[in-house]
Amino acid sequence: MKKTILAANWKMYLDGDASIDFVKKINSNEESFFKSEVILFPSHTCINQVQKNLGTENIKIGMQDCDINTEGAYTGAVSLHSLSDIDFCIVGHSERRLLYNESDEVVKDKLETVTNNNVSAILCIGETKEQKNDGNTFKVIDRQLSILPKDAINGLTIAYEPVWSIGSGELPSNEYIEDVLSYVKNKLKSLYSDEIVEKTNLLYGGSVDKDSINRLLDVKLIDGFLIGSASADFESFKAIAEKLN
Ligand code: PGA
């Protein structure tokens, strides 16, 4: 059976010691994560330590973001090449789009950098509260997906994260999520072969925790979850994983 993806976006929540401590707890509680495909997204500076301390190969590691360029004079930027054995990279998270003014064009270039370097991309999409209230959800989703290349991308994952749900405790109904994910699926079908569409995982993100996961698991089109604050606390992350067992 296909495992449910649990992508843990630690944002800037955990420092080096806290990241190592988290990973050690995963090592000693491996059985809690048997039903999930865990991907950890530590801060860039903690990735090496996390990799060194992980006692299992079942857990994948990703970057929360990367620069469009992989080398050169880009002060303060982090290249995909500067970290080894990275499986995934998040692209277009709403915090990058909104707080760091990343346009669709930038997101498109990052997606290209990630996929050209054989790293699997998790492309985040989602509407703001205002866009939702104005009835523009599908228009926004359509625009954000318009950056997808005509040629199939290997290992692409799409995370639908309504901006208004991130960190707010406010969640869309299952029907709402199902409608958006169906829209995404149809868009993918218009671009790619059935085989590629089948392989493109769809995640939901926004206020996922040990309680909300109960009803979110009923959404058939969800292959997994992109989790922020509840993924940075070991006990709450474990509790989410155990709901899948
Ligand atoms: P949250 O964040 O789970 O804290 O709402 C999700 C995300 O930003 O990916």
105 pLDDT band, cuts 50/70/90, is very high
What's the whole-number mean pLDDT along residues 219-241?
98
Burial 139-170 (b: 16+ CB within 10 A, else e): ebbeebbebbeeebbebbbbbbbbbbbbeeee
Going by alpha carbons, the residue nearest to atom 6 of ligand 1 is 228
Q: How far is the CA of 90 from the centre of ligand 1 (A)?
A: 13
Predicted local distance difference test score (pLDDT) of residue 151: 87
| pLDDT band at residue 57 under the 50/70/90 scheme | confident
CA distance 216 to 128: 20
Cβ pair 78, 47 in contact under 8 A: no
Amino acid 185: pLDDT = 97
The residue among 183, 71, 76 whose CA lies nearest residue 127 is: 183
pLDDT digits (tens, 9 = 90+) for 183-196: 999 999 999 999 99
**pLDDT class of 1 with cuts at 50, 70, 90:** confident
Architecture of domain 4-242: Alpha-Beta Barrel (3.20)
Looking at residue 2, its pLDDT comes to: 84
pLDDT one-digit tens code per residue, 2-31: 899 999 999 999 999 999 999 999 999 999
pLDDT of 152 > 80? The answer is yes
The ranges assigned to domains in the chain are 4-242
Q: Ligand 1: residues whose CB is within 6 Å?
A: 9, 161, 166-167, 205-208, 226-230
Is residue 160 predicted with pLDDT exceeding 70?
A: yes
- pTM summary value: 0.97
Per-residue confidence (pLDDT) for residue 139, from 0 to 100: 98
CA distances from 190 to 109, 151, 152, 187, 200 (A): 22, 12, 12, 5, 13
Nearest-atom index, ligand 1, CA of 229: 4
| DSSP structure string for 39-92 | EEE--GGGHHHHHHH---TTSEEEES---S-SSSS-TT---GGGSSS--EEEES
